[in-house]
Structure 1
Amino acid sequence: MPAILGALKVISVGSAGVVHIGDVAIIAPKAAAKTYAGSGSFNTGDFPSTYSVVSSTNTNDQDIADENIVGL
């Protein structure tokens, strides 16, 4: 179904990312990542404001493999 878009702002696209505007049946990028970040790290927008006095991130992971990907 056709769509009418207004302003579109794409800041960045990663190596396994997909930006598709229009009709599509299947989009299946293959990637996995584990990200550790502290308080207020993933804020988005033009004027973010965060107030974090004390922050700590637990990065202890006992798994051997996380998010295994099987594909072509």
Structure 2
Amino acid sequence: MPAFVGAVKVNSVGSSSIFHIGDVYAMSPVSSAKTFAGGGSFNTGDGLTLSLDQSYTYVTDSDTMDQTIMGNA
């Protein structure tokens, strides 16, 4: 539905955000991330007890690009 919009002030827009005023068919922000984590890294809850003796995370990643994002389709 068309509308008239007055003055708009945008202080900042993050890299994975969308700012659009007006008619639009679809908006779909796209992002990708790579996370390396060792044992016990993503535990959540109350009263956790972890015992990780000599826990190591070895990362060998020779790729220059794992997931490219071209356009926003």
RMSD: 2.7
Matches of 2:45 and 2:61, distance apart in 1: 31
Partner deviation per Cα, 1:9-67 (whole Å, 9 max, x = no partner)? xxxxxx85xxxxxxxxxxx5421111111110011223322110111111110111012
5+ residue gaps, structure 1: 1-14, 17-27
Counting aligned pairs with the same residue, the percent is: 45
Q: Give the TM-score, by structure 1 length.
A: 0.51
Q: Number of residues paired by the alignment? A: 50
Bigger radius of gyration among the two? 2
Matches of 1:42 and 1:62, distance apart in 2: 25
5+ residue gaps, structure 2: 1-14, 17-27
Which residue does the alignment assign to 1:49? 49
Specify the code of the residue in structure 2 equivalent to 1:63: D
Specify the code of the residue in structure 1 equivalent to 2:39: S
